[in-house]
Every structure is written in C-alpha cells, then in structure tokens.
C-alpha cells in the first residue's frame, strides 16, 4: 500500500497529539468510538465533536476536536485566551486573523485573509481575533487541538467591534451536560 507523504504527516500529527493528550498512556488508556461521542450543532453550519476534552473526559492541558463546516459557513468572529491548532483533513477555506487586544487598537480592525487547503495546518495565537470560513463548495473537515481547556470565547459582531464590547459565551460543548434526575424507586 502506498501512502502519500501528506497523509503520513496527518497520521503522524494525530498520533503525536494523542500522546500529548495522554490517551495512549497505559495507566489511563481510554478508547472511545468517535461515532458514540456527543455531536454539537450549536453554530449554524458547524458540527463539533470533542474527541478528548476537559468537561466530559477530564483533560487538563489540551483538548482535541473534529469539526465539519458546510460551504459558505464558519465560526463567528471571536478570540480566546488559549492557543488553537487546526489540521485540515479535507476541503479548503480561509482563516481571517487580526492582532489580539494587546495591539494598540481598541478593536480588531481589518483582518488578514489567509487561504488554506487539505493537508495543511495553521495555528491561532493566544487572544488573536479570528474567524474560519469554508470558502469552498465541499464540506471542510478539520482536527483541532486547543491548549488550556475549557475554552471561553469572546464573540464580536464585526471586525470593528471594540474589544471591551466582545461578548463572552459558553460554547455548548464546554458546558457539563445537565443530567436528568432519576426517579427514586424506593
């Protein structure tokens, strides 16, 4: 079987990130079936699955996700106090990124548009205001690794929204699922 160097790179990155996540350590080995994990659709056009996370899996230092974004859709304009790494598994799009609030402006301003495609990777620096859009005509599939979970995002109405007007929201996958009380049969 011939495996392309790009695919080998993606597989290598997934294996390395699994080691970093600690799910490959014998003492805490956890095998999860992706199809059995919770899927979230709280952002229109974006489907999210947490592979290993703080809320549901007890991860302390990093979190891993798989996300699918339909054509023409993407993430809101936002920032967060953590780093984020994207590995593009399939599809293409554009990441828009502006300097973080530590810049001399009180708002993000005009972002830089950086195209990406399948078998590429990009990193979002700590507190950088950004947005990921699927600018292609097929679904975009990405593997995402974040540091310092859980993620608290600050959403912007547009690129001219002042940093102090960005609204903090809890992402649906970063909140513990409320359990339904069971009836006491006694």
Q: What is the pLDDT of residues 30-70, one digit of tens each?
A: 788 888 887 878 788 999 898 887 777 777 788 888 999 99
Hey, CA dihedral for 153, 69, 90, 60, is it positive or negative? Answer: positive
- Helix (H) and strand (E) counts in the chain: 2, 12
The residue range of the domain holding 80 is 5-174
Nearest partner of 86 among 142, 6, 150, judged by Cα: 142
**Residue 130 annotated as binding site:** yes
> What's the pLDDT score for residue 124?
95
> What's the pLDDT score for residue 43?
85
Residue 169 falls within a domain, yes or no? yes
pLDDT band, very low/low/confident/very high, at 6 (cuts 50, 70, 90): low
What does the block give as tokens for 69? Answer: 């974004």
> What's the pLDDT score for residue 23?
46
Residue 42 falls within a domain, yes or no? yes
Of these ranges, 38-52, 65-79, 100-114, the one predicted with the greatest mean pLDDT is 65-79
Q: How many CB atoms lie within 10 A of CB 162?
A: 13
CATH number, domain containing residue 80:
2.60.120.10
Q: How many CB atoms lie within 10 A of CB 153?
A: 19
**Residue 63 annotated as binding site:** no
> What's the pLDDT score for residue 185?
41
> What's the pLDDT score for residue 9?
56
Residue 183 falls within a domain, yes or no? no
Mean confidence (pLDDT) of the chain? 80
Residue 182 falls within a domain, yes or no? no
> What's the pLDDT score for residue 181?
36
Residue 148 falls within a domain, yes or no? yes
Query: What pTM was computed for the model?
Result: 0.75
Q: How many domains does the chain have?
A: 1
Counting Cα atoms < 13 Å in the Cβ hemisphere of 137 gives: 0
Residue 164 falls within a domain, yes or no? yes
Of these ranges, 1-5, 28-32, 132-136, the one predicted with the greatest mean pLDDT is 132-136
Residue 181 falls within a domain, yes or no? no
**Residue 48 annotated as binding site:** no
Q: Residue 14: is its pLDDT beyond 60?
A: no
**Residue 84 annotated as binding site:** yes
Residue 185 falls within a domain, yes or no? no
């Amino acid at each position: 079987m011939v495996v392309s160097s790009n695919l080998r790179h993606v597989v290598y990155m997934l294996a390395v990130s699994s080691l970093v996540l600690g799910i490959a350590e014998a003492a805490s080995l956890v095998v999860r079936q992706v199809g059995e994990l919770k899927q979230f659709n709280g952002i229109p056009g974006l489907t999210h699955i947490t592979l290993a996370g703080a809320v549901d899996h007890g991860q302390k230092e990093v979190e891993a996700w798989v996300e699918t974004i339909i054509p023409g859709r993407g993430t809101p304009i936002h920032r967060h106090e953590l780093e984020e790494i994207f590995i593009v598994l399939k599809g293409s799009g554009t990441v828009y990124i502006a300097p973080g609030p530590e810049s001399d402006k009180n708002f993000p301003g005009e972002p830089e548009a950086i195209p990406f495609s399948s078998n590429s990777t990009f990193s979002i620096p700590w507190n950088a205001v950004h947005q990921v859009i699927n600018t292609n005509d097929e679904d975009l599939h990405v593997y995402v690794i974040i540091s310092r979970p859980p993620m608290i995002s600050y959403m912007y109405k547009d690129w001219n929204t002042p940093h102090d007007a960005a609204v903090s929201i809890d992402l649906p996958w970063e909140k513990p699922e409320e359990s339904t009380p069971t009836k006491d049969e006694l």
